[in-house]
Structure 1
Amino acid sequence: MAPEVEAFAGIRSALRAIDQGLPDWPDKPLAKEKLRVLAQSIDRALALAGGAWEGPGALHSWVMAGIRPAARFLQQVGDEDLAEFGRCSLRPVPDMMAWDLDGALAADVDNRFVSRPEWEGDACETGPLVRMSGHPLVAELWQRHGNGLLTRLAARLVELVGLPARLGQLLDGLSSNTGVLGIGGSGVGLGQVEAARGRLAHRVKVEGDRVSRYQILAPTEWNFHPRGPLWRGLVGRPAGNADILQRQVGFLVVALDPCVAFTVQVT
């Protein structure tokens, strides 16, 4: 389906207005009006009419109205009986202490950890599904359908709707010295953040006046690990028609959201 660019342009504009005000924080607090504009933009983009999804019934009504592409996509998931497609058992990426992650990255001389990360011998998952697992709607869908397509896509939607409130909480706790990165001794800095696709970590090592090593551990490497959620969600599934399988696997890849373009081939 073609994206509704105009519907989401308002969200982009509202986020840009918030971003432009951040350099003056905390001396000049961000106007709450900017967060209200963001909330209104999201409401319009999703055609929520000022409401929210209090449970699966409310989500179903919104889906069946089919006003926005996201709703029509979920209609297709339901029509093809794909609510549980990709369901698997997988642990979330843990809240790693900075020194534990620093140690793993420092020892990663062959770049195996940043390309195929594991924690305590396990592949893990990160992203909206993990972050929103405690949301009542997501939790109820998870209980009914596991972490299949429907639950994953719903987690993305509820995270988007909750974004203005979350930004307000983050800004209220922000101070001028929040960004201290020192870790692991002199010349090493490590930062972690929950980015759109999941946990993102950067580590830099400086020797003298030069950067001697720079490492990035991206969410995509967790979620597309060879034994990660895509693999686990597909192993054992009936293959059936190749064209149908190709499209449905593409749905699951989109739900996991790699940071690069992709193609699905069935051979």
Structure 2
Amino acid sequence: MSIEGEITIKVIINSGVTKETLITSSRPLHIPQLFINQPVQKVAETLDSLYQLCNTAHRFAFLRLLDKCKVISLSVNEMLAYQLLLDLETIREHCFSIFSKWRINDNQKINKNMIDLLATLKGINSTLFSVGNPLSLMDKTLQSFACIKSLVEKLKTQLTLTLIGEQFNAETVFNNTYNFDYWIKTQSSDCAIFLHNIQQSQFGDLGNVKTQFLPNIMPSEMTALLNDDAFIAQPSHKGICYETTPYTRQINNPLIQQLSAKYGTGLLSRAATQLLEIFELMNRVKSNYTQIYSEDIQYNRRASIDATSAVVEVQAARGKLIHSLTIQDDQVKAYRILSPTQWNFHPQGILKQMIQALSFSNKQDLVNKITLLVNAIDPCVGYKIKVIDA
């Protein structure tokens, strides 16, 4: 088991029927306790070293908390730059998930183009912030969008060729279900082959169950909820176990609405969402950040005698990430983190409902189907599946 912990999914069956689904997590939720009574600089460094997955999302959340508590002041320009980095991180996380999990069989090799994509993403980050660690509290230099424009164009080309293929473009593929289905049937990219296999196996509606999306909760109410350890471990709101996923974010996209009308909340709708969101974000990167200008960034931290609190929400790759902070005299007095995985892999949440609805021919068939569903929701840690005969 890794230091990040893991999720265990234990399914008890009897006579070909699922009797019980038990989802447990060994994720170390106590990590923010390490921040208590630590200076701001130390917490910034610890966040950077401990949270490697969705590192940008966690560190951006921390900077926004400090800004809301008036410890530092973030300019609109640098906020744009950090949001750009967050969009790129989500693209990277989605790509890695697709390259490592969208596989027809275990013998299929991971696409080596992922290495080139990672190099381009790293190049954008290091060019945009030419001096200093972008999300640290140290001095840094932000360059204008013009400096990364060619790299952004290169990234879009790489994504299109690797994920979509040579004869299509994302705008056409994701325009409607007719184009989407035609691409799946005629293209030879790994993504098209995987999605075509889902259709051919009649797994498009696999895991189609009713779900409820995490609503916006007032900051004051969220702060109170986060003070409860039980809520952090197994979050629910007013008795409801919500989901917060890319599917949640993209549900109003015309293609996703069309796919959902046919497959419900099932596997194909969710897989298509992850792929589509990569190109939605890529378009945003190309158009929403062109006004970023060069800026030398320095923080004059302000310490307050009185305790100040704040809560922020960040749309990370796997869903809504929530951080809260109480600070006094440059020391952190309370810190809480609620990740989307805690919602999405709640013992009574969306995955359990999906598994309970599955039909299967044998143990291995059940494991294979559960694996597809878990990968579609995409936990931020590893997992293991156990199927037990009662």
Question: TM range, normalised to the smaller chain?
Answer: 0.7 to 0.9
Q: Secondary structure at the match of 2:382?
A: coil
Q: Is 2:195 the counterpart of 1:195?
A: no
Aligned to 1:156: 274
Does residue 11 (structure 1) correspond to residue 117 (structure 2)? The answer is yes
Give 3-state SS (helix, strand or coil) of 2:289's partner.
helix
Which structure: greater strand fraction?
2
Task: Give the equivalent residue in structure 2 for 1:36.
Answer: 153
Q: Is the counterpart of residue 113 in structure 1 residue 231 in structure 2?
A: yes
Aligned partner of 1:80 in structure 2 is 201
**Structure 2 SS opposite 1:64:** helix
Check whether the contact 2:164–2:192 (CA below 8 A) recurs between aligned residues: no
4+ residue stretches of structure 1 with deviation over 6 A?
24-27, 173-177
The aligned counterpart of 2:374 is 253
Deviation (angstroms), 1:101: 1.8
1:130 corresponds in structure 2 to 248
Between the aligned partners of 1:147 and 1:174, the Cα distance in structure 2 is 38
Q: Which has the larger radius of gyration?
A: 2
Q: Deviations 1:81-105 (Å, cap 9, x if unpaired)?
A: 1111111111111133333322321
- Say how many residue pairs are matched: 257
Seen in structure 2, the aligned counterparts of structure 1 residues 257 and 57 have a Cα distance that, compared at 3 Å, is same
Q: Which has the higher contact order (CA 8 A, sep 6+)?
A: 2
CA distance in 2, matches of 1:210, 1:159: 38
Structure 1 contact 125–228 (Cα < 8 Å) conserved: yes
Distance, in Å, in 2 between the alignment partners of 1:74 and 1:252 is 14
Q: CA deviation at 1:17?
A: 2.6
Shift in Å, 1:208 = 4.4
SS in structure 2 at match of 1:36: helix
Q: Is the 8 A contact 2:232 2:338 kept in 1?
A: yes
Q: Deviations over 1:40-81 (max 9, x none)?
A: 111011133351212222222222235232222212212221
Shift in Å at residue 174 of structure 1? 7.1
In the TM superposition, residue 124 of structure 1 has moved relative to its aligned partner by 0.8
Q: Please, which runs of 5 or more residues in structure 1 have no aligned partner?
A: 178-184
CA contact (8 A) 2:165 2:187 kept: no
Distance in 1 between the 2:122 and 2:180 partners? Answer: 29
Whichever residue aligns with residue 133 of structure 1, its letter is I
Note the residue ranges of structure 2 that are not aligned, 5 or more in a row: 1-102, 131-139, 298-305
Q: Distance in 2 between matches of 1:127 and 1:173?
A: 29
Q: CA deviation at 1:116?
A: 1.0
Partner Cα separation in structure 2 for residue 243 and residue 222 of structure 1:
27
RMSD: 2.6
3-state SS of 2:351 partner:
helix
- For residues 241 and 160 of structure 1, the distance between their equivalents in structure 2, rounded to whole angstroms, comes to 35
Write the letter of the residue equivalent to 2:154: V
What is the TM-score normalised by the length of structure 2? 0.60
Provide the rounded CA distance (Å) in 1 between the counterparts of 2:226 and 2:292.
27
Measured against aligned partners, the alpha-carbon deviations of 1:121-170 in whole angstroms (never above 9, x if no partner) come to 21111121111111111110001110100000000110012222223455
Contact residue 200 and residue 218 of structure 1 kept, 8 A: yes
SS of 1:171's partner is coil
User: Structure 2 residue aligned with 1:229, among 350, 357, 365?
Assistant: 350
Deviates more, 1:149-158 or 1:26-35: 26-35
Shift of 1:26: 9.6
Counterpart CA distance in 1 for 2:350 and 2:116 is: 33
Asked if the contact 1:3/1:69 (under 8 Å) is kept, the reply is: no
In the alignment, does 2:292 pair up with 1:171? no
Residue 385 of structure 2 corresponds to which residue in structure 1?
264
How far is 1:231 from its partner? 0.9
| C-alpha distance in 2 between matches for 1:38 and 1:205 | 39
Q: Tell me by how many angstroms 1:207 deviates.
A: 4.4
Give the alignment's TM-score, normalised by structure 1: 0.85
Q: Does the aligned pair in 2 maintain the 1:36–1:164 contact within 8 Å?
A: no
Secondary structure of the residue that 1:264 maps to in structure 2?
strand
Identical pairs, percent: 26
State the distance in 2 between where 1:194 and 1:173 align: 22
**Structure 2 residue 265 is the aligned partner of structure 1 residue 144:** no
